[in-house]
Amino acid sequence: MNRLSILVVDDRQEIRNLLRLWLESNECKVACAEGGNEALKLLKKGGLDLVVTDVLMPDGGGVNLISQMRKDFSQVRILAISGGGPRVTSPTALQMAQSVGAHALLLKPFGREQLLNAIRHLMEADLHLLELAALTSASPRAHRERLEHRRPSTIG
């Protein structure tokens, strides 16, 4: 995956460890955070291409993180993941993530190939924007902003 720099955000350590293992085995550079507040600190350091975040977490969760990222880190792509919770179903959680700006969605449980395919799809869409921008001499950001009204893909 061309050495993507990915931040994995999940309140469950076993999920963070598994996703790190899968991503590092595909030559991605991976950082992990237990929640949204820790993730924002890592995002401020820069250098990230993608955030894979759980939607439902104790510290305000992925919804707040996604919303904040869209304001302050719009260049970083967002893959929201969820298996639901005691009061919120998985589809509802993913709809919340979509409504605040997640670029792609993935329903838990998912396998390694589903995760990697979701990431490839998301990053290839960005590559196409860059190529289109080069052809038309417009900025990639302008093309991305035009496409922001599109609904993110749901994979899973």
Across all residues in the chain, what is the average pLDDT?
85
Q: What is the pLDDT of residues 77-94, one digit of tens each?
A: 999 999 888 888 888 889
Domains of the chain in start order, with CATH, are: 5-155 (3.40.50.2300)
Please, where are the H alpha helices in 8-111? Answer: 13-24, 36-44, 61-72, 90-99
Percent of the chain residues past pLDDT 70, beyond the cut: 78
For residue 31, the surrounding DSSP H or E stretch is strand 29-33
Q: What is the pLDDT of residues 98-155, one digit of tens each?
A: 999 999 999 999 999 999 999 999 988 766 555 656 666 555 555 555 555 444 444 4
